[in-house]
Chains A and B, each alone.
Chain A
Amino acid sequence: MDKKLPVTCPSCEAELKVHSLSCDSCQTTITGSFELPLLIKLEQKEQDFIIAFVKSSGSLKIMAQELKLSYPTVRNMLDDLINKIVELQKINK
């Protein structure tokens, strides 16, 4: 089962930070306070959309064909994603 990386606190819904990273090979553990990258804060389906967008060389027409959706539907999905990224960037500032 794929475990979902939590990005917000289940208790107070504040944004989570990375506290520690560990190496499975030598058991080294690094601790600190690291910001989560912006892309990880997006939902899984939004991350999948970005991957599909890059893989289709940024062509919405190709994406529409592959997703079996109309061109304006895919363009609207991209517009929604752009708006969400802009909002997340504003929050991070």
Chain B
Amino acid sequence: MNKAIFNPFKYVAGAKSLILGILIILITAYIGFLSNTHFPDLISIKLCSDFPVLYFVLQSFSNWLIFSTILYLCAIIVSTSSIRAIDIFGTQALARFPYLIAAFIGFSDSINKFAKYILWTSLKIGEPISLSTGNFVIAISLIILTFLLTIWLVALMYNAFKVSANIKGTKAVVFFIIVFIVSMVITGYISKYLFAKFS
């Protein structure tokens, strides 16, 4: 059971995972649009102001495509196995599933109030706001949940990479970290560009 949660790619890959994964990315973007939750790089989850749905779709797709493309190029060079692009792109798309759950977090009034509270108390931005104990507990619980979802996402991305590229051990860890950092930088820049374009 645990293995399937962290590594469903042992059973699902190729076209099936690609179709499922694209659906997940589209639904995540749409829910993000409704809840004002965006993903400005590979793993960040942030609340944002109103943007058109296209902003969320482009951001979600760029997060998936940038990472998968760099990973594919890296796998071609490093792996001795005959890897398929559809497996890399498909499994990485499916690995985005935890952020479909994360996209619902923005619907919480508590997390919105908590964000405004932090902005006011630490940076004096916005207006003074009081936060009830209930709201505080819910907000902290949701922050812990986003942290767990991020761990799940990274574990899924790593296992998807291991299965689809057949790279193991230290080599897998090192290349995954390199591709991850490079993708974080690129997706961060793309998100900044999208943010400026749609603001």
Residues 44-93 (chain A) with a chain B CB within 8 angstroms: 68-73, 75-76, 79
Which candidate, B4-12, B105-113, B173-181, is the interface stretch facing chain A? B4-12
Query: Could you tell me how many residues of chain A have their Cβ less than 8 Å away from some Cβ of chain B?
Result: 9
Query: Could you tell me how many residues of chain B have their Cβ less than 8 Å away from some Cβ of chain A?
Result: 17
Which candidate, B23-31, B79-87, B123-131, is the interface stretch facing chain A? B79-87
Say yes or no for B76: interface residue by CB 8 A criterion: no
- 1/0 per residue, CB under 8 A from B, across A11-49: the answer is 000000000000000000000000000000000000000
Pairwise interchain contact B10-A73, C-beta atoms closer than 8 A:
yes
Tally of A-B Cβ pairs under 8 angstroms: 40
Q: Which residues on B sit within 8 Å (CB–CB) of A76?
A: 81, 163, 166
Say yes or no for B13: interface residue by CB 8 A criterion: yes
Pairwise interchain contact A70-B10, C-beta atoms closer than 8 A:
yes
Pairwise interchain contact A72-B11, C-beta atoms closer than 8 A:
no
Q: Which residues on B sit within 8 Å (CB–CB) of A75?
A: 81-82, 166
Cα A69 to Cα B16 in complex, Å, equals 12
Select from chain A the residue with minimum beta-carbon distance to B163: A72
Say yes or no for B146: interface residue by CB 8 A criterion: no
Residues 145-177 (chain B) with a chain A CB within 8 angstroms: 163-164, 166
Residues 56-97 (chain B) with a chain A CB within 8 angstroms: 80-84, 87, 91
Q: Which residues on B sit within 8 Å (CB–CB) of A72?
A: 9, 13-14, 83-84, 87, 91, 163-164, 166
How near does chain A come to B17, taking the closest CB pair, in angstroms? 8
Cα A70 to Cα B84 in complex, Å, equals 12
Q: Which residues on A sit within 8 Å (CB–CB) of B14?
A: 70-72
A-B contact pairs, 10 of them (CB 8 A): A69-B10, A70-B17, A70-B163, A71-B13, A71-B14, A72-B9, A72-B91, A75-B82, A75-B166, A76-B163
Further contacts, 8 of them, CB under 8 A, given A69-B10, A70-B14, A71-B84: A70-B12, A71-B87, A72-B91, A72-B164, A72-B166, A73-B9, A73-B11, A76-B163
